[in-house]
């Protein structure tokens, strides 16, 4: 089976064990609706499920909230697939689709989903399809931007940076004005998205082999840049990302920026309410003046897990959740998605001012980012391992036990070894 899946994975255009045989989801009884279980963690998904259930009496969906994928949610999904009692539906990030496929955890829903393909931005459909076979429905993408404290920048006369060189100068000026302040919490900043913007290619294919280049020159340049700021103690490497300490520092202005995707905007509003009206959103700084290159952080699908007995109904719900105007308005406002469905990009909700951000139409920034992101970036097939090893390697660098460039070499070696252990041909 590994050889067959590996061959299919070689055809992946972009971005965790065993094949389960059953499902907890039940066909409709003669007098009742089809019942589907849906596992995920994103805020707002439960409300979309409620909206669907209120208008679809023949299909009823039960949402079960799990820890996020990397915090145990995916492991629970794999265990359920192995046991043969997985739910029909699951929230699976684009980056993890190759891993789910390699582990035999997805159902082929090509026939059931073929009518939905034209409703989505083409590259997002590629995230849920491999070699012509479809395994779910895309939900959103993750265009990146710079969230910054307008009041802090104004107080210290710091211009909003348009390049990374200017960003480094802003970090120095902020630190001189307030030694207790930091330009950013690096632990809450995703390295893959920054490497993506720089033009890095962590994964690819070469003949019948996977090509792994996590420590490529582009990513090394990104790592060198941030290591320089770490060495000068201009960035926070202490507070964990998405921790109470981080939210508090954003709310107080002691952390002056956050680098992240569109889905971060409601999280900041929810977790730093006292900073209402003080945040702005600007394009991600560029490596060269005048460029318009961006990275993507996140993006997800509603995947159909192995053993689902009601694939038609599962796809019907997944498509509805990603395309229905009411569902999309909820997901945009609560979850912070940037829709994968083309119709979603025409909604007023992605072209309006946001009260928390002083009425600024922050979506214009994300639209530009989405339109200028290289969609040829690929993810590899061992994402759980990659995420764990990335966290450990970066943690050692932040603790002074290593450096960020050296962490890339460690990650390169461990990732190649993990892929080989799965029976995949790897070229480094």
Kindly state whether residues 200 and 330 are assigned to the same domain. Answer: no
- The domain tally of the chain equals 2
The residue segments making up the domain with residue 277 are: 143-295+377-427
Kindly state whether residues 328 and 212 are assigned to the same domain. Answer: no
Kindly state whether residues 169 and 276 are assigned to the same domain. Answer: yes
Q: Identify whether 72 is part of a domain.
A: yes
What CA–CA distance (Å, rounded) separates 323 from 411? 38
Kindly state whether residues 273 and 153 are assigned to the same domain. Answer: yes
Q: Identify whether 395 is part of a domain.
A: yes
Kindly state whether residues 43 and 123 are assigned to the same domain. Answer: yes
What CA–CA distance (Å, rounded) separates 45 from 91? 10
Check pLDDT > 80 for residue 223: yes
Which CATH number does the domain housing residue 148 bear?
Answer: 3.40.190.10
The pLDDT of residue 12: 43
Kindly state whether residues 147 and 137 are assigned to the same domain. Answer: no
- % of the chain surpassing 90 pLDDT: 89
Residue with tokens 């209402």: 276
Asked if 50 and 270 count as a contact pair (C-beta separation under 8 A), the reply is no
Kindly state whether residues 16 and 57 are assigned to the same domain. Answer: yes
Q: Identify whether 368 is part of a domain.
A: no
Over residues 240-262, the pLDDT tens digits come to 999 999 999 999 999 999 999 99
Q: Identify whether 367 is part of a domain.
A: no
Over residues 328-383, the pLDDT tens digits come to 999 999 999 999 999 999 999 999 999 999 999 999 999 999 999 999 999 999 99
Kindly state whether residues 319 and 408 are assigned to the same domain. Answer: no
Q: Identify whether 195 is part of a domain.
A: yes
Kindly state whether residues 250 and 187 are assigned to the same domain. Answer: yes
Q: Identify whether 335 is part of a domain.
A: yes
Q: Identify whether 363 is part of a domain.
A: no
Q: Identify whether 318 is part of a domain.
A: yes
* Residue of higher predicted confidence among 62 and 2: 62
Kindly state whether residues 103 and 17 are assigned to the same domain. Answer: yes
Kindly state whether residues 303 and 287 are assigned to the same domain. Answer: no
Kindly state whether residues 150 and 269 are assigned to the same domain. Answer: yes
How big is the chain by its Cα radius of gyration, in Å? 22
* Residue of higher predicted confidence among 143 and 19: 143
Over residues 276-293, the pLDDT tens digits come to 999 999 999 999 999 999
The pLDDT of residue 130: 87
């Amino acid at each position: 089976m590994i050889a067959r899946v590996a061959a299919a994975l070689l055809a992946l255009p972009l971005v965790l064990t065993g094949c389960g045989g059953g499902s907890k989801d039940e066909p409709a009884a003669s007098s009742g609706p089809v019942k589907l279980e849906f596992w995920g963690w994103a805020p707002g998904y439960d409300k979309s499920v409620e909206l669907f259930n209120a208008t679809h009496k023949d299909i009823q969906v039960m949402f079960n909230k799990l820890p996020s994928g990397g915090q145990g949610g995916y492991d629970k999904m794999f265990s359920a697939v192995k046991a043969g009692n997985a739910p029909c539906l699951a929230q699976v990030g684009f980056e993890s689709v190759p891993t789910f496929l390699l582990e035999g955890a997805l159902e082929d829903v090509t026939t059931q989903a073929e009518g939905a393909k034209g409703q989505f931005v083409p590259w997002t459909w590629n995230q849920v399809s491999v070699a012509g076979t479809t395994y779910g429905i895309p939900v959103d993408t993750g265009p990146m931007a710079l969230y910054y404290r307008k009041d802090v920048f104004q107080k210290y006369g710091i211009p909003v940076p348009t390049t990374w060189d200017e960003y480094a100068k802003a970090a120095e000026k902020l630190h001189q004005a307030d030694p207790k302040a930091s330009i950013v919490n690096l632990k809450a900043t995703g390295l893959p998205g920054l490497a993506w913007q720089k033009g890095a290619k962590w994964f690819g294919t070469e003949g019948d082999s996977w090509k792994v280049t996590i420590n490529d020159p582009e990513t090394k340049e990104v790592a060198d840049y941030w290591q320089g700021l770490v060495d000068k103690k201009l960035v926070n490497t202490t507070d964990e990302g998405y921790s109470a300490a981080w939210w508090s520092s954003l709310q107080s202005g002691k952390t002056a920026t956050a680098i992240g995707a569109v889905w971060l905007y409601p999280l900041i509003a929810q977790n730093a309410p006292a900073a209402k009206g003080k945040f702005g959103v600007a394009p991600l700084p560029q490596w060269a003046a005048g460029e318009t290159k961006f990275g993507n952080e996140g993006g997800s699908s509603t995947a159909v897990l192995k053993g689902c007995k009601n694939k038609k109904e599962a796809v019907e719900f997944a498509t509805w959740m990603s395309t229905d105007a009411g569902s999309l308005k909820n997901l945009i406002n609560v979850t912070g998605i940037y829709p994968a469905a083309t119709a979603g990009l025409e909604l007023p909700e992605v072209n309006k001012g946001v009260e928390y951000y002083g009425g600024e139409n922050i979506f214009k920034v994300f639209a530009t980012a989405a339109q200028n992101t290289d969609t040829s970036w690929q993810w590899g097939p061992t994402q759980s391992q990659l995420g764990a090893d990335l966290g450990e390697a970066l943690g050692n660098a932040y603790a002074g036990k290593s450096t960020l460039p050296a962490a890339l070499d460690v990650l390169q070696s461990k990732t190649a070894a993990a892929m080989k252990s799965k029976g995949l041909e790897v070229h480094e």
